[in-house]
Amino acid sequence: MKDLTHGSEARLILWFSVPMLLGNLLQQLYNMVDSIVVGNWVGKQALAAVGASFPIIFLLLALFTGISMGSNILIAQYQGAKNTECVKKAIETTYLYTFWGSLILMAIGFFGAGPIMTLLKSPDSVKPLAVLYLKIFSLGMLPFLGFNTVGGILRGLGDAKTPLYMLVLSTALNIILDLLFVIVFGWGVAGVAFATVLSQAVSLVACIIYLNYKHELLRVKFTALSFDREIFNLSVRIGIPSGIQQSLVALGLATMTGIVNTFGTDAIAGFAAAARIESIASLPAMTIGMAISTFVGQNLGAGKPHRVRKGLRASILLSAGISALAAISFYLFGNSLIKLFNSDENVIRIGTTYLRILGPFFIVFSFMFMLNGVIRGAGETFIPLITTLLAMWAIRIPAALLLSAKLGLTGVWWAYPTGWFVGSIISLIYYRSGKWIDTFEKIHGKNRGQEEATIH
């Protein structure tokens, strides 16, 4: 397990982020490979169907992800304080609510797929395929959430390498099954959905076997797990705002998808392809933001708040540099990137426009994620919720509706950076106030002491 409380802040965050980034890239490769395979071997309707399903999957997972994030923050803080007993209780509690939460989400996704796609006004050429993909994916909620929960716990403890190794196995298997089920068996959209579910299930089993042999603290013995209500309530208190935030993001994405749906199949397919590429490009900022959360949690838990400011500065510089490279790549190679998914000229034009408009503003996006990473690491998740509420629902969606009426699809794309600017400003104001450190002290009953001034 990695101790982030000693040594160079920049070096620690960088090397802790690298395996996390590789792991997240592999995770995104799941959806990307699904889209590439169906887009090239099935057609643009299938590509649009997979893309239309993604916001709904994101929405189903959002609230659960928030509570898990609360658990991971607590685990990082307990680990920093060397409180092994509380670490163990938090892990076992997380295992239990992951199991029951997965079953609930499975039922919602499977039985609600049809009505949801109708609500989003999916075109008739896309809707049946999107419903099929969503139903099959929902059947895999338990392995999907179980696999991601174990990875989150390990990262909270400072181990980012083991989740990476498991993701390598999962991604390789997913690619093989995608090609087998779609190209050889001809299962179409159902094939890529089954490939994802089966690869996650195999990887979860491998992960549990590994943990039971290698990590006494993380052993999964279902008959011996204990549920700690106090830790669960604390996880919910920290995590629910993040869960609501993720839900608002997912609902916002679904709403934006609904706006795009009104422009037809080509628009949905171009949006789906571009969104997959954008999700890859945004991963460095999101990953470094996750790393800074663990870094902040451990250092506050260890009583070293003076290291937070240095860690934030290093994170901003690193993520800004990567974001600039992404913007340049979008401008130079946007056409070629979209062609990976589909060869239709209109689909390529729509997707390329999306990438070239959003690319220059990735630096703003990364700045917002670094600030929110620090704030979450202290256990303050309400402010990121407010940031999302205002940036997404008060700015982006109204702007998309207004601008799309005047500029068409291009107006929808321009709505994205407007929300990022607003979110960055709100997060910066709150970070500068220093109130997030008060939240940490309230959770753990500590006094601010002499080091408050070093944080600002």
**For residue range 119-131, what is the model confidence (pLDDT) as tens digits?**
877 778 888 888 9
Tell me if 355 sits within 8 A of 334, measured CB to CB.
Answer: yes
Q: Which residues of 412-450 are buried (b: 16+ CB within 10 A; e: fewer)?
A: bbbbbbbbbebbbebbeebbeeeebbebbbebeeeeeee
Confidence grade of residue 218 (pLDDT, cut at 50, 70, 90): low
Instruction: Count how many residues are written for the chain.
Output: 456
Both structure tokens of 213: 């042999």
CA distance linking residue 16 with residue 21, whole number of Å: 9
DSSP secondary structure of 66-89: HHHHHHHHHHHHHHHTT-HHHHHH
The one-character DSSP state at 187 is -
Q: Is the pLDDT of residue 185 over 70?
A: yes
Contacts of 26 (CB under 8 A, 6+ apart): 164, 167, 168, 170, 171
Taking alpha carbons only, the member of 154, 157, 158 closest to residue 166 is 154
Taking alpha carbons only, the member of 146, 156, 140 closest to residue 20 is 156
3-state class of 418 per DSSP?
helix
Higher confidence at residue 325 or residue 385? 325
CA distance linking residue 100 with residue 109, whole number of Å: 15
Apex CA 66: angle with CA 284 and CA 119, to 5°?
95
Distances in Å between the Cα of 329 and the Cα atoms of 36, 193, 322, 351, 431 are: 19, 30, 11, 14, 31
- Note the pLDDT of residue 400: 93
Tell me if 54 sits within 8 A of 198, measured CB to CB.
Answer: no
CA distance linking residue 35 with residue 272, whole number of Å: 8
Contacts of 345 (CB under 8 A, 6+ apart): none
CA distance linking residue 232 with residue 223, whole number of Å: 19
The helix (run of H) or strand (run of E) holding residue 155 is helix 141-156
The pLDDT tens digits for 328-357 are 999 999 899 999 888 889 999 999 999 999
The one-letter amino acid code at 129 reads L
Contacts of 168 (CB under 8 A, 6+ apart): 26
* pTM, to two decimals: 0.66
Q: φ and ψ at 32, to 5 degrees?
A: -65, -45
CA distance linking residue 261 with residue 182, whole number of Å: 26
CA distance linking residue 350 with residue 155, whole number of Å: 38
Distances in Å between the Cα of 359 and the Cα atoms of 193, 346, 354, 355 are: 30, 20, 9, 6
The pLDDT tens digits for 303-312 are 888 888 888 9
Computed over every residue of the chain, the mean pLDDT equals 83
Q: Give 442-445's long-range contacts (Cβ < 8 A, gap of 24+).
A: 443/77, 443/234, 443/238, 443/379, 444/77, 444/81, 444/301
The pLDDT tens digits for 85-134 are 787 788 888 888 888 888 998 999 899 888 988 887 777 888 888 899 89
Confidence grade of residue 22 (pLDDT, cut at 50, 70, 90): confident
Confidence grade of residue 49 (pLDDT, cut at 50, 70, 90): confident
Alpha helices by DSSP H, listed for 215-264, are 229-261
Contacts of 213 (CB under 8 A, 6+ apart): none
3-state class of 378 per DSSP?
coil
The pLDDT tens digits for 224-267 are 777 888 888 887 787 777 777 777 777 888 888 889 988 888 89
3-state class of 304 per DSSP?
coil
